[in-house]
Amino acid sequence: EPEVTQTPSHQVTQMGQEVILRCVPISNHLYFYWYRQILGQKVEFLVSFYNNEISEKSEIFDDRFSVERPDGSNFTLKIRSTKLEDSAMYFCASRGTSGSAPEQFFGPGTRLTVL
């Protein structure tokens, strides 16, 4: 069964550094998402991406954040100048094109720790 994959599973970085979180969505999906979950809190929407551009973003997604689909398979989240409060589990998700199938399929997550 196709699934969303994410690498790395755990990323540790120093405050102020840049990180890139990688995702491989399900192959025939066209809508892509990033969410995050701070430890003990709810899952929060960050950004959605369709047709090579951002379709929606939250207030969390400030100018330190960017997304890219550099090739036909990867979908990346870059965080520049990381802060302590960026520490969280980051989930990638993808969705198919059919209007009758609006569910999003999630990857296993990348745990980002900013020291």
Partner 1 sequence: AQSVTQLDSQVPVFEEAPVELRCNYSSSVSVYLFWYVQYPNQGLQLLLKYLSGSTLVESINGFEAEFNKSQTSFHLRKPSVHISDTAEYFCAVRRGGATNKLIFGTGTLLAVQP
Residues at the interface with partner 1 (CB under 8 A):
6, 31, 33, 35, 41-45, 48, 50, 55-56, 58, 91, 95, 100, 102-109
E strand spans, 26-104: 31-37, 43-50, 53-57, 65-68, 75-79, 88-95
Q: Which is nearer to partner 1, 31 or 65 (CB)?
A: 31
Q: Which is nearer to partner 1, 82 or 110 (CB)?
A: 110
Nearest of 14, 93, 1, 87 to residue 47 by alpha carbon: 93
How far does CA 5 lie from the centroid of its chain?
A: 11
In the bound complex, what is the minimum distance in angstroms from residue 15's beta carbon to partner 1? 26
DSSP β-ladder status, 10-13 and 110-114: parallel
In the bound complex, what is the minimum distance in angstroms from residue 110's beta carbon to partner 1? 10
In the bound complex, what is the minimum distance in angstroms from residue 16's beta carbon to partner 1? 28
In the bound complex, what is the minimum distance in angstroms from residue 54's beta carbon to partner 1? 11
Lookup: tokens for 17: 């550094």
Q: Which is nearer to partner 1, 14 or 42 (CB)?
A: 42
Q: Which is nearer to partner 1, 16 or 32 (CB)?
A: 32
Q: What are phi and psi of 84, to 5 degrees?
A: -55, -40
